[in-house]
Amino acid sequence: MVSNKELGIAMQAYYGGRAEDRIRRTVVPVVLTDFTSQYPTVNALLGNWDALTAEDASFQDWTQEARKMLSAVELEDTFSPEFWKQLPFFGLVLPDNDVFPVRTVYNGRTHNIGLNYLTSKTPIWFAGPEIVAAKLLGRKAPLILKAIRLFPGPRQSGLTDSRLANMVDINPEHDFFTYVIEQKTLHKPTNKSLSHFLKILANSGSYGLFVEVN
């Protein structure tokens, strides 16, 4: 079972989707680019389907492993799917001029999220991918005081196949995030409506569906 303390750690580390704008109110040349199916891709790389379909899950100490990985990581490593398997962890960090997301009041009225150089006397929990990003953006490894990694248990018994829109078969043994995007691409040339439905399903099923903030 996941304890309330561990759920609290996950919530402190939750910052949600955000847009980063490095240059504002200045006309500059741009190149329009797009990341195909970003939310499902991140979920697939992190192996989140195993956690979502597990009978239970546990968190184990990952402090030494996280420190070792962080000290050696380079940008090129993040292009390897194998590297992402190390990232389902939370680290208690003592930020010292490190680049991290910060939720605070920026305009004097409303809370928002900004990516800032952060220093704090109080340790803060961050998710593994955020800590790696801080290392790559700041060129030094943030100080990890403690780290815990999520380990999914065995898959739930009794999971059965289902059929989306009576058109697409879903097998719970297969990674949902990868499969739905593959089906979206497969059906796009011949059934744009189904492809659009699968795109929305993949994105909504990858982000926002599992978090409630009151």
Quick one: 42 and 126 in the same domain?
yes
Q: Is residue 32 one of the residues assigned to a domain?
A: no
Strand order from edge to edge, sheet including 143-152:
57-61, 143-152, 89-94, 124-127
CA dist., res. 63 & res. 67, Å (int)? 6
Q: Is residue 211 one of the residues assigned to a domain?
A: no
Quick one: 83 and 176 in the same domain?
no
Quick one: 139 and 172 in the same domain?
no
Q: Is residue 27 one of the residues assigned to a domain?
A: no
Instruction: Give me the tens of pLDDT residue by residue for the chain, a chain 214 residues long.
Output: 789 999 999 999 998 777 777 788 899 999 988 888 999 999 999 999 999 999 999 999 999 999 999 999 999 999 999 999 999 999 999 999 999 999 889 888 888 888 889 999 999 999 999 999 999 999 899 999 999 999 999 999 999 999 987 889 999 999 999 999 999 999 999 999 999 999 999 988 888 677 666 6
Quick one: 147 and 172 in the same domain?
no
Quick one: 147 and 192 in the same domain?
no
CA dist., res. 168 & res. 180, Å (int)? 9
Quick one: 136 and 73 in the same domain?
yes
Question: Are the beta carbons of 115 and 99 closer than 8 angstroms?
Answer: yes
Backbone angle region of 38, left / alpha / beta, with phi > 0 → left and psi within -120 to 50 → alpha: alpha
Its domain, for residue 47, covers 4-17+37-152
Number of structural domains (the chain) is 2
Cα-Cα-Cα-Cα torsion 171, 174, 179, 183, nearest 10 degrees, comes to -30
Last residue of a domain, one of 110, 133, 152: 152
